[in-house]
Amino acid sequence: MPTFRYRAYSGAGDLLEGEIEARSGDEAEEALFRRGLTPFETREASSSSGASVLSQLSFGRRAPGAAQIAAFTREFATLEQADVPLDHSLRILSAQSAAPAMRELAQEILARIVDGSSLSDALSRRPDVFGAEYVNVVREGEAVGKVGPALTDLADMLERQIELRARIQSALVYPALLITLALISTGVVLGTLVPSIAPIFADNGKAMPSGLQLIMDAQANAGTIGLVLAIIAAVVLLLRKMAQTRPTWRIAIARFYLRLPVVGPLLAQFATARFARTLGSMIKAGVPLLQGLESARAAVVNAFLNDELASVIDSVRGGGQLSGALGAIPFIPAVAPQMISIGEETGQLDVMLLRVATMFERGTQRSIERAMGLLTPVLTILIAAVVGALIMTVMDAVLSINDLAGK
């Protein structure tokens, strides 16, 4: 019998974790209800790591893209907010979808709904398409009977992510072209000019210029240099893999990222925005604060901030204010707890959280756009310096050849 990991709330509001044996996820949740617990998350322990691969193998088709999932979520939210029954909504989505992958996805979800699964449980069976954050938001929406608003918030979030990704990709086109042309130019210089010039000095018994000698030595030891670089890359990958299995390492690395001069504040703003957006959407949908905090914490990918948010949840569970607990977390922008405190005092916590999210999302977007704008001139200068140094080295060698010819 499969084993399911669960996170559930007790009657006193405590979040409990454990394992339970059941034939299906629905049966596991029913068993938890019989124990007096309210399930927050249940997943099969034995197959969670390979669920994505097995899911793709079982259907034999490529998973839908991010843009398709965003469009699917937007259309689904529109139908749900129009009070169209869930099964009818999925039938409509299946019928009108032009992409075969999305049509099959809607049919698969519909089949699970007809078999008695909840929407969140049906979505959780496709982790290759719907992440844990997506499923948690839908589950909380189901708990309070507001699936439509939950899907709307998800659609807004996905569309913002796609827009930001598209802007970054567009801004990287010109730098990528510059790098490609620089590599081609460097290859021409190193592959044709240098090998043609170097033998002239050897034939005349003269020492090569230092720059040309450095290039020839690098070419002669290319195998050794490549081996050293490969070893360094392997060590980095090994350390990264080890860090993934050691929470203390992941937390330390995440804290180091947050300490970086330019990248750190950007990561902190992004994490704050995701936390505030998720929590604000949850509270707006009627989800209790503690449950919303659990989902919002899951949306924060930075391991250090994620770990610190556990103490925030404990503080709120003990009767503390959310703003005070957030203010004690390092790297969280100071304005966030201040605005959240105003929301707590005025009874508009959800509204203020969404404003905080919007403010930091726009700030993050502006910062990324400025960085992308600076990337092009910086790369131009660096590439010009590298190519110019190579050309100067070759010209120095050519002038030395002229001196040899004059003698």
Average pLDDT rounded to a whole number, residues 288-294: 86
pLDDT over 80 at 323, yes or no? yes
Residues in the chain, overall count? 407
Residue 329 is given by DSSP the state S
What class, spelled out in words, does domain 172-407 have in CATH? mainly alpha
Confidence of residue 268 (pLDDT cuts 50, 70, 90): very high
Using a pLDDT cut of 90, give the percent of the chain over it: 16
Asked if residue 105 lies in contact with residue 65, where contact means CB atoms within 8 angstroms, the answer is no
Asked if residue 26 lies in contact with residue 116, where contact means CB atoms within 8 angstroms, the answer is yes
Average pLDDT rounded to a whole number, residues 116-131: 85
Average pLDDT rounded to a whole number, residues 330-349: 91
Average pLDDT rounded to a whole number, residues 62-69: 80
Give the lowest-confidence range in 17-31, 83-97, 157-171, 317-331. Answer: 17-31
The three-class DSSP label of residue 399 is: helix
Fold of 1-49: Ubiquitin-like (UB roll) (3.10.20)
Which residue is listed with tokens 């504040």?
265
pLDDT over 50 at 96, yes or no? yes
pLDDT at 371: 81
Confidence of residue 49 (pLDDT cuts 50, 70, 90): very low
Measured distance between the N- and C-terminal CA atoms of the chain, rounded to whole angstroms: 91
Residue-wise pLDDT for 216-255, tens only, equals: 777 778 788 889 999 999 998 998 888 778 888 889 999 9
pLDDT at 47: 46
Q: Closest Cα partner for 328 from 350, 349, 309?
A: 309
Please, where in the chain does CATH 1.20.81.30 lie? 52-167, 172-407
pLDDT at 404: 56
pLDDT at 147: 84
Question: What CATH number does the domain located at 52-167 have?
Answer: 1.20.81.30
Average pLDDT rounded to a whole number, residues 322-334: 91
Mean residue pLDDT across the chain: 81
Residue 221 is given by DSSP the state T
